[in-house]
Amino acid sequence: MKSSNLGYPRIGADREWKKALEAFWAGKLGEEELEQQLQELRLNHLRKQRDKGIDIIPVNDFSYYDHILDTATMFGIVPQRFSYNGGPVPLSVYYGIARGTKDAAASEMTKWFNTNYHYIVPELEGSVPVLTENKPLSAYREAKEKLGIEGKPVIVGPLTFLKLSKGYRQAEADVWLSRLLPLYEQILQELANEGVQWVQIDEPILTTKLSSADVNRLQTIYATFAASVPNLNIMLQTYFESAEQYKEVIGLPVQGIGLDFVHGKSGNLSSIKALGFPENKVLGAGVIDGRGIWKSSLREKLELLEELSGFVNPERIVVQSSCSLLHVPVSVAYETKLSSELKDALAFADEKLDEIVLLTKAASRNLHEIPEEFQENERAYQTFKFSKNRKRDDIQQAIAAIADQQLERKSPFVSRNTVQQNKWQLPIFPTTTIGSFPQSAEVRKARQLWRKNEWTQEQYDDFIRKQIDIWIQLQEEIGLDVLVHGEFERTDMVEFFGEKLAGFAFTQNGWVQSYGSRCVKPPIIYGDVAFLNEMTVEETKYAQSLTERPVKGMLTGPITIMNWSFVREDIPREQIAYQLAYALRQEVEALERAGIGMIQVDEPAVREGLPLKEEEQAEYLAWAVKAFRLATCTVQDTTQIHTHMCYCEFHDMIHSIEAMDADVISIETSRSHGELIHSFEVNTYTKGIGLGVYDIHSPRVPGVEEMTSMIERALHVLDPKLFWINPDCGLKTRGLQETVASLKNMVEATQIARSNHTES
């Protein structure tokens, strides 16, 4: 058996990649220096994989920003608004597409399947694809010349590329494919001529349901390759789930098929059992989790390989990660503050490579015998699995008791709405914001001083209170109806709560790439989650004491906390969500007791957890809704529950949103206004709703008229009595001046709308 890897994190152990990119963008690093630094990093990563003993090492998985953008620019696919005249795409254009220039807006970016990685969406419209450079070939040559490594070039497959691109009509799909295919053929031919043994063609789209037209395209693509490059070995790689069209996939004329036996384990195993695996093909067995952070039980993995060897000749099995290691941090070695029990249970990219190598060696020797070298792995794995530090009986009992409760508010929305209106006496079209106000340099500096213990707790609390003073006053001056405290005490909406709840751990260096140079350091939920102390009451109560107007309490919802964390795998995600919800419920109740009458529970990441398999989506949505209701259902009728969601498509989940039973929801719409309005035409929404009237991701101050027309359009389909007015999202990344100016315009637009819609 051979060992292989599908991709290695780009960012570097010390985020050298991020630093180099950002220095280049800031003009502090020249192009040549950037190239030099990135090459060094790239070669280091290859060297590391070789030294650890990986047999088949991926090349061309490295990127200057994003691998989908690399593929598009390799084909000369550049939106017309950027001035580009053919040839290799210059770095200035490349980064222009990714980040925007002063003359041209950036391309859209969106989530890479069900991960938290975002890619740049290729815009095909108007482009004439040509091969501007053979990137996989350059990467192969570099590894061979500099390190003597004969790597495995990684390429995004044609079907996945086409399906993820936009700017063409469905009816034109075949035309576009016929433009792209010859370019792919040229790449592969040049690789074959160079003596390349294996290429990895990534087709993760094969884990989703394809139309018969797409299945035909798939067959055309791989038949074309088989005819034009018969002597190149293609590993057709799927990941993130089981192959949906298994039968068609194994029938393709390729030499190897890579399957995910972690996230698509049951589906792929049952397909293999039912339909077998072709004798003449290699199976890329993705048995080591490429996107989770936990150590594998090598014993269990060996058993899995043994099971697979019942269907596939072991000589034709390659042991590999389930997907690229892009989605996990670099190494556990840099963590010095985690408990040893937890640290021993973790495996990031480097540790996963070790697991792959160890497993391959053992499997090559004897599949039926657990070797000695697995002992340490098994000990750590079992210790953590059964650790008392992860379990809390009180929580497990509380969650079990909730299982068959109704989880309903005391009264239905219609009656709540009446008592809430009587209580609050808000004008028609109440105005509010989403929660955060600008986190100025001053705010960030204060937090640093406090974290470094240069400021005492009192100094820091004082500072936060002053920010609240300033912004309560500003909000009153601007004329907003429902105020917020501003979230100055929070760096991150998940980390803030994670740090205050039991069951969470934080790494020092567990960074992963989210998009471009932006890296995130997700918290780890390793044990039962429990409420310990009040988390937000102090600041909210203080803000409320400064004003007669209502101040909304501000919490991050259970599903968002879960989806933006690395989570334990010994209990179902559903259970984790309920534990989080149960803890948040205690905070909701504490806020209510402290006299806070409006509480917002943000769920911007609800849609991100949606399973790739359609048949699993309804179940996920059902428990996501239940978790939200668990967190919010015990309050009095007079307490108004708000929620907020942003930047995703909602049209297919309006019913779930309705079922969450929040009194008011605020949704991002300014980027997708038309579409969302349309979905409210076909599905009625019967609770309070605020459609964001301006895009907070731009420093531009929107005009009054612009916002008035947004409001009017929305009022064609939504009930004026239930309509709220707010920006798209939190304002934490904006400056003070532009925020105040924008909100003043928003209030003015509201006044115009009010006079248009109130009969005199």
Rounded to an integer, what distance in angstroms lies between the CA atom of residue 252 and that of residue 237?
Answer: 12
**Exposed, middle or buried by CB within 10 Å (0-12, 13-18, 19+), for 169?**
exposed
**What track of x and - describes contact with ligand GLN for positions 731 through 750 (by CB under 6 A)?**
-x------------------
Q: Name every residue whose Cβ is closer than 8 Å to that of residue 303 and which is 6 or more positions away in sequence.
A: none
Q: How far is the CB of 12 from ligand GLN (least distance, A)?
A: 27
How remote is the C-alpha of 417 from its chain's centroid?
35
Binding mask 553-592 for Zn ion (x = CB under 5 A): ----------------------------------------
Nearest residue relative to Zn ion (C-beta): 646
d(CA 429, CA 435): 18
> Tokens 């222009």 belong to which residue?
96
Site for ligand GLN in 434-463 (CB under 6 A): 434-436
- Cβ-count burial of 197 within 10 angstroms (0-12 exposed, 13-18 middle, 19+ buried)? middle
Determine which residue in the list 498, 604, 690, 692 makes contact with Zn ion, applying CB under 5 A: 604
**What sign for the dihedral angle of Cα 685, 686, 687, 693?**
positive
| Integer Cα distance of 585 and 632 in angstroms | 6
568 binds, among ligand GLN, Zn ion, none (CB under 5 to 8 A by kind): none
| Residues in CB range of 369: below 8 A, 6 or more apart | none
Give the total of residues touching ligand GLN (CB under 6 A).
13
Smallest gap, in angstroms, from Cβ of residue 605 to ligand GLN? 8
- Whether 7 and 325 have beta carbons less than 8 Å apart is answered as yes
Neighbours of 145 (CB within 10 A): 9
- Distance of alpha carbon 442 from alpha carbon 463, whole angstroms: 10
Task: Report the residue number, 350 or 602, with the smaller CB distance to ligand GLN.
Answer: 602
In the complex, least distance from residue 272 CB atom to Zn ion, rounded to whole angstroms: 42
State which of positions 641-700 bind Zn ion (CB under 5 A).
646
CA 69 to chain centre: 18
3-state secondary structure 116-141: CCEEECCECCCCCCCCCCCHHHHHHH
Judge residue 311's burial from the number of C-beta atoms within 10 Å of its C-beta, 0-12 exposed, 13-18 middle, 19 or more buried.
Answer: middle
Would you call 697 a catalytic residue per the annotation? Answer: yes
| x/- track of binding to ligand GLN for residues 644-673 (CB under 6 A) | x-x---------------------------
CB of 488 vs Zn ion, minimal distance in Å: 17
Closest CB to ligand GLN among residues 630, 731: 731
- CA-nearest of 464, 486, 463 to 474 is 486
Pattern 713-732, Zn ion, x by CB under 5 A: ----------------x---
Kindly indicate which of the ranges 31-39, 61-69, 275-283, 432-440 contains the residues binding ligand GLN, using the contact rule CB under 6 A.
432-440
Distance CA 214, CA 207 (A): 13
Report the nearest approach of ligand GLN to the CB of residue 729 (Å).
5
Does the protein bind ligand GLN through residue 726 (CB under 6 A)? no
Q: For residues 256 and 727, which CB has a smaller minimum distance to Zn ion in the complex?
A: 727
Q: Which does 732 bind (CB under 5 to 8 A by kind): Zn ion, ligand GLN, none?
A: ligand GLN
Compute the C-alpha angle 545/548/549, nearest 5°: 110
**Nearest of 563, 643, 575 to residue 611 by alpha carbon:** 563
Query: Nearest distance from residue 293's CB to ligand GLN, in Å?
Result: 23
Beta carbon nearer to ligand GLN, 245 or 739: 739
Rounded CA-CA distance 529/571 in Å is 12
Beta-carbon contacts of 281 under 8 Å, excluding residues fewer than 6 positions away, are 250, 254, 255, 256, 257, 316
Nearer to ligand GLN, 74 or 653 (CB): 653
Single out the segment in contact with Zn ion by CB under 5 A; choices: 271-279, 324-332, 467-475, 598-606.
598-606
Cβ neighbours, 10 Å, residue 510: 25
Q: Distance from first CA to last CA of the chain, Å, rounded? A: 82
Per-residue binding letters, 136-175, with ligand GLN (x by CB under 6 A)? ----------------------------------------
Residue 688 binds what, of Zn ion, ligand GLN, none (CB under 5 to 8 Å, by partner type)?
none
> What character string, x for contact with ligand GLN (CB under 6 A) and - otherwise, covers 521-560?
---------------------------------x------
Catalytic residue, chosen from 263, 697, 716, 757, is 697
Contact partner, 528, from Zn ion, ligand GLN, none, Cβ < 5-8 Å per class: none
Say if CB 459 and CB 450 are below 8 A apart: yes
Q: Work out what residue 493 binds among ligand GLN, Zn ion, none; the CB cut-off runs from 5 to 8 Å by kind.
A: ligand GLN
Residue nearest to ligand GLN (CB): 730
Establish if 602 lies at the interface with ligand GLN (CB under 6 A).
yes
Minimum CB distance to Zn ion smaller for 695 or for 748? 695
Q: Select the residue interacting with ligand GLN from 346, 493, 494, 599 (CB under 6 A).
A: 493
- Spatial CB neighbours of 42, under 8 Å, sequence gap ≥ 6: 62, 142
Give me the least distance between CB of 449 and ligand GLN, in Å please: 22
* Shortest reach from residue 657's CB to Zn ion, in Å: 14
In whole angstroms, how close is the CB of 42 to Zn ion at the nearest point?
35
Which residues are the active-site residues? 697
| Contacting residues toward ligand GLN, per CB under 6 A | 434-436, 487, 493, 554, 602, 604, 644, 646, 729-730, 732
| Contacting residues toward Zn ion, per CB under 5 A | 604, 646, 729
